[in-house]
Amino acid sequence: MMSARTAHKPLETTIDLGDRTAPLTARVNRRARRLIITVDSIGGKVIVTAPSKRAIPEALDFARNHTTWIKRRLAETTGALPFENGRVFPLRGHPVEIVNEGGLRAAIALNGDRLIVGGEPHHLNRRVTDWLKSEARRILTARADHYAGLLNRRRGTISIRDTRSRWGSCATDGAMSFSWRLMLAPPSILDYVAAHECAHLVHLNHSPAFWRVLKELRVDARAARDWFAVNGASLYAYGVRPQSAPEAA
């Protein structure tokens, strides 16, 4: 058993990767001879190891100075599936194919199982990502309003982001943040996340009282957790471009 003198609780934080954030864990391993960065291929978590507790700040800076390498590793572990012509991806849980046709200023249009996207091919990834963010804001705003109304509560502002640490969050002032990647999940999963955050308008914790409120909203928490456990990590592959040259870490 490791003694209290030599054990150090890992520091849990996040790292800004420019277009998104990822969970970052800083830990101490006295056997380490240098700072080491690794990426958890399952959870997409970044881990930086320091030889001592005193070196933790240096380790955090080391990780933040190697975001290009980290993004490449994350892309490799998730498969890196940029939105491009012919790409099939799950939209609201159903497979949709990206078809690049139309003028530069043509609006993106969903036609059955085809997403029609105009413009230059090298702009497709950005255009589809921006469209998904816009759709996420529209749909999640409507669903949050629905569940907040059922609870007779008023929500705060809604923001759409791309974080790996959580699918949604609710602040003390009722402001909510959601991942745009919920647009890749089935409607019932998106609904669960919206309801979950609205339940925090009543209880800003995960106490038994919170889960009772969530149950009243008639969403299946267990089914959502099971779905995320199987499919959640794969959603982070979409819209990611592989980095061609890593930086030494």
Domains and CATH numbers, the chain: 11-78 (no CATH), 88-237 (3.30.2010.10)
pTM of the complete model: 0.70
From residue 206, alpha-carbon distances to 148, 164, 166 in Å are 17, 20, 15
- Could you tell me if 10 and 25 are in contact, meaning their C-beta atoms sit under 8 angstroms apart? yes
Q: How far apart are CA 49 and CA 69, in angstroms?
A: 16
Q: What is the mean pLDDT of residues 214-236?
A: 91
Q: What is the pLDDT of residues 77-119, one digit of tens each?
A: 656 789 999 999 999 999 999 999 988 788 999 999 999 999 9
pLDDT band at 152 (very low <50, low <70, confident <90, very high): very high
Res. 1: pLDDT tops 50: no
List the beta strands (DSSP E) in 20-91.
Answer: 21-28, 36-39, 46-50, 88-91
User: Lowest-confidence range among 62-76, 119-133, 200-214?
Assistant: 62-76
Tokens 């190891």 sit at which residue?
A: 49
What is the reported pLDDT for 242? 61
Q: In 10 A of CB 26, how many CB atoms?
A: 24
